[in-house]
Amino acid sequence: MTWTASAASDPELACPISPVVDIVFSRWTTPILWTLHTHGRQRFVELQRHINRITPKVLTQRLRQLERDGLVVRTYHPEVPPRVEYEISELGRSLAPLFAHLGEWAATNLEKVEQARTTYDSTPTR
């Protein structure tokens, strides 16, 4: 796939990956998917322990959105007390190569990004 866009295109339509970026790279989506991929099926509290800076409200919102998007499967067990578990779906697992490429990019380039930031920050105000 190549990146080409018409100059007359709507900027949002010109980038075909914008919807994917919106779905996958919102603030807490990546840590949630990473945790479910790494640790398997999790109850809400277990998931929250693995992602300790997320609030219960935000975790609930993100899990609902990920379930709606088909990236997470929620299983309700009608027991006493009720039990709910979350796991990454096949569609969510299909993102693994994308995350692997991003991990490779990060390993190769984050030091360069930090150097660029240091250089930029030390330059007098433009």
Backbone angles phi, psi at 69, to 5 degrees: -75, -10
pLDDT tens digits, 41-79: 999 999 999 998 999 999 999 999 999 999 999 999 999
Cα–Cα distance for residue pair 13/43, rounded to 1 Å: 38
pLDDT tens digits, 24-40: 888 899 999 999 999 99
Cα–Cα distance for residue pair 32/15, rounded to 1 Å: 25
Say what the pLDDT of residue 70 is.
Answer: 96
Say what the pLDDT of residue 117 is.
Answer: 95
Say what the pLDDT of residue 3 is.
Answer: 53
118 or 4: whose pLDDT is higher?
A: 118
For the chain, how many helices (H) and strands (E)?
Answer: 7, 3
pLDDT tens digits, 71-93: 999 999 999 999 999 999 999 99
2 or 36: whose pLDDT is higher?
A: 36
Quick one: tokens of 5?
Answer: 């866009």
- As a whole-number percent, the residues of the chain with pLDDT over 90 amount to 68
Cα–Cα distance for residue pair 23/3, rounded to 1 Å: 20
Say what the pLDDT of residue 11 is.
Answer: 66
